[in-house]
Amino acid sequence: MPRFKLIIEYDGAPFVGWQRQENGLSIQEALEEALAAMTAERAIVHGAGRTDAGVHALGQVAHVDLEREWEPFRLGEGLNALLHPHPIAVLKSERVDSGFDARRSARTRHYLYRILNRRAPLALERGRAWRVKPPLDARAMHDAAQALVGRHDFSTFRDAQCQAKSPIRTLDRLDVMRDGDEVQIEASALSFLHRQVRSMVGSLVEVGVGRSTAGDLKAALEAADRSRCGPVAPASGLYLARVDYPEAHGGEFGTLPSSPANAGEGDRAKRGGGGSSIDQAANSAK
Amino acid sequence: MPRFKLIIEYDGAPFVGWQRQENGLSIQEALEEALAAMTAERAIVHGAGRTDAGVHALGQVAHVDLEREWEPFRLGEGLNALLHPHPIAVLKSERVDSGFDARRSARTRHYLYRILNRRAPLALERGRAWRVKPPLDARAMHDAAQALVGRHDFSTFRDAQCQAKSPIRTLDRLDVMRDGDEVQIEASALSFLHRQVRSMVGSLVEVGVGRSTAGDLKAALEAADRSRCGPVAPASGLYLARVDYPEAHGGEFGTLPSSPANAGEGDRAKRGGGGSSIDQAANSAK
């Protein structure tokens, strides 16, 4: 059966999450319904990451097997027409070999978390970021975050509902950057535990407002105890930004359209050469 | 009577526009209702610019006279609480002298127009940008736009409903920049005719896709004939970005939270020293 790879952007707000559920419409179901309308086949869409209710994607990746061959471009265009009015867009559709598996072949998952650090409620960015009122020390958050990078038992930052067999994960990077009144957190790993990013972000904000220290965060990690986790950050600020695959499967991605305000003027630029590996990969792939 | 200056952000999508109208809720009415609930006064909110239905603001400015004195910070916080759930936020509230008039004292109005130049429909940016499918030559658009800068009869780019006495305006700048798949147009002037920015953007897109040339655009301007205008760009991509006042009245502004993707990597950066004067003012004021 021909296998297709889809790169998908969505606004997670109106959905119960990526995965099919009884209690409402999921992104997976919306995609499968559009596929069924187009191909008259009942195919299962397999995603790289199961985003929770309200979590967005700039570049979710999925694969699907169809009975018939389709011209990939036409498949993507047709799906987009049928997905309307859902805020889901197929950014790219391509034919892949049967060795490609959106979940199992993934080498790195990149998440972005957006905080707007201001007193005023969100208007234009409502549902797209977490508004945090007290001033955040992004530098202190970044420094504290480095204790979480590497191979650790992440039980402290794991949701009670998490079904993973092991709490051990290897976090490749956890960067915190300020750009005007926006604080962005980027996390990359082969895989994450359930709500790991939102749990880490919540604890980092405790450091950012001065309620806890880098030492407290390190101690909380080492305790491997869920009760040591700070408040879990809301879903609205989280984006599955990109999923990387081995060369043979391409390195496609999605990016959030950037606004002109502050572009290139934030701490990101000031931090110098390091910058954002998500951006670098995005730009090099262009 | 004490006069207050408000800097306001809003998502224009659910409103009939800035100005009070019979046919639905305006931003002005929502603000006046919140003020009435807070102060028990029926005050009129005077805006710097009358944005159309669906047009957004990052930094609309308004003034209002109240009978009682209010602590400006408390006024802003109270209004934000009462404006919920409308996507309107008071970013700043301050006490000004009676010489300040949001409309008449304004020295420069800055508008931003956002185009997403891609085939896929908008998901996360739906209602916040104009999706244009054919590849746009942003450099050609920028070069063509320079013919519109300066003092001209803008009858070609003026809506038939425009009530201004004169079609003569002085356009200070009209810059077109590409940043990844986003094309941004920034326009600054003391004042604009009705739908002038959207009319200019529509005609610039004709140049960007190759349906017309810089020479055609210049000839259309010189004809001073509405029938020579290209299709008017949709409201969803337009933002009242900032309003400048003489030093005595401060130089406050609003900025769209920027995303990390492509930050500093777009044509904006490549264009070198010039950059965006909106950004520069924003950053210098920080």
CB atoms within 10 A of CB A215: 11
On chain A, the residues whose CB falls within 8 A of the CB of B88 are 123
Architecture of the domain delimited by B108-242: 2-Layer Sandwich (3.30)
Residue A99, both tokens: 């060795």
Residue B220, classified by CB atoms within 10 Å of its CB into exposed (0-12), middle (13-18) or buried (19+), is: buried
Report the alpha-carbon angle B88-B94-B99, nearest 5. 115
B41 interfaces chain A, CB cutoff of 8 Å: no
A58 interfaces chain B, CB cutoff of 8 Å: yes
DSSP secondary structure letter of residue B121: P
CATH 3.30.70.580 location in chain B: 3-96
CB pairs under 8 A between A and B: 182
Report the alpha-carbon angle A258-A259-A260, nearest 5. 120
Please name every residue paired with B114 in a beta bridge, in sequence order, or none if there are none: B184
Q: Of B28, B21, B20, B23, whose CA–CA distance to B47 is shortest? A: B28
Please name every residue paired with B60 in a beta bridge, in sequence order, or none if there are none: B8
Q: Please name the residues between 148 and 207 in chain B that touch chain A, using a CB distance below 8 Å.
A: 177, 179-182, 184, 186
List CB contacts of A191: < 8 A, sequence separation 6 or more: A106, A109, A169
Tell me what percent of the residues of chain B surpass a pLDDT of 70.
86
- Nearest by CB to A84, which of B121, B259, B264? B121
List CB contacts of A234: < 8 A, sequence separation 6 or more: A54, A130, A198
On chain A, the residues whose CB falls within 8 A of the CB of B132 are none
**B189-236: per-residue pLDDT in tens?**
999 999 999 999 999 999 999 999 999 999 999 999 999 999 999 999
B283 interfaces chain A, CB cutoff of 8 Å: yes
Residue with tokens 């995965």: A19
Residue A49, classified by CB atoms within 10 Å of its CB into exposed (0-12), middle (13-18) or buried (19+), is: buried
Third-level CATH fold of A108-243: Alpha-Beta Plaits (3.30.70)
A129 interfaces chain B, CB cutoff of 8 Å: yes
- Nearest by CB to B260, which of A118, A126, A278? A278
Residue A63, both tokens: 């694969």
Residue-wise pLDDT tens for chain A (286 aa)? Answer: 999 999 999 999 999 999 999 999 999 999 999 999 999 999 999 999 999 999 999 999 999 999 999 999 999 999 999 999 999 999 999 999 999 999 999 999 999 999 999 999 999 999 999 999 999 999 999 999 999 999 999 999 999 889 999 999 999 999 999 999 999 999 999 999 999 999 999 999 999 999 999 999 999 999 999 999 999 999 999 999 999 999 765 554 444 444 333 333 333 333 333 334 444 333 333 3
Q: Give me the interface pTM, i.e. the ipTM.
A: 0.84
- Nearest by CB to B120, which of A80, A182, A269? A80
Q: What is the mean pLDDT of residues B92-116?
A: 97
CATH 3.30.70.660 location in chain B: 108-242
- Nearest by CB to A87, which of B123, B129, B278? B123
Q: Are strands A108-116 and A46-47 parallel, antiparallel or unpaired?
A: unpaired
How many angstroms separate the CA atoms of A139 and B64, rounded? 39
List CB contacts of A168: < 8 A, sequence separation 6 or more: A151, A152, A153, A154
Residue B250's pLDDT band (boundaries 50, 70, 90)? low
3-state DSSP assignment of residue B9: strand
On chain B, the residues whose CB falls within 8 A of the CB of A83 are 121
Please name every residue paired with B65 in a beta bridge, in sequence order, or none if there are none: B3
| pLDDT higher than threshold 90 for residue B255 | no
Return the pLDDT at A286.
33
For residue B82, give the chain A residue with the closest CA.
A121
Contact call for residues A49 and A107 (beta carbons, < 8 A): no
Statement: B3-96 belongs to CATH 3.30.70.580: yes
Mutation target among B86, B115, B258 for the A interface, most CBs of A within 10 A: B258
Say yes or no for a CB contact (<8 Å) between A89 and B266: no
Say yes or no for a CB contact (<8 Å) between A124 and B268: no
E-only strand ranges, chain B: 3-10, 46-47, 56-65, 88-96, 108-116, 130-131, 150-153, 168-179, 182-189, 238-244
Return the pLDDT at A249.
59
Please name every residue paired with B238 in a beta bridge, in sequence order, or none if there are none: B113
Secondary element (H or E) of residue B22: none
For residue B237, give the chain A residue with the closest CA.
A259
For residue B279, give the chain A residue with the closest CA.
A261
Torsion of CA B40, B46, B50, B51, to 10 degrees: -50
A277 interfaces chain B, CB cutoff of 8 Å: no
How many angstroms separate the CA atoms of A80 and A6, rounded? 11
Return the pLDDT at A247.
72
Q: Please name the residues between 216 and 275 in chain B that touch chain A, using a CB distance below 8 Å.
A: 241, 255-266, 268-269
Contact call for residues B123 and B36 (beta carbons, < 8 A): no
Return the pLDDT at B6.
98
Return the pLDDT at A81.
97
First to last CA, chain B: 31
Contact call for residues A12 and A41 (beta carbons, < 8 A): no
> Can you list the pairs that B83-86 forms with residues at least 24 positions away whose Cβ atoms lie under 8 Å?
B83/A121, B83/B30, B83/B31, B83/B34, B84/A121, B86/B10, B86/B14, B86/B25, B86/B30
Residue with tokens 């992440």: A154
Centroid of chain to Cα B197: 9
Say yes or no for a CB contact (<8 Å) between A259 and B261: no
Contact call for residues A79 and A93 (beta carbons, < 8 A): yes
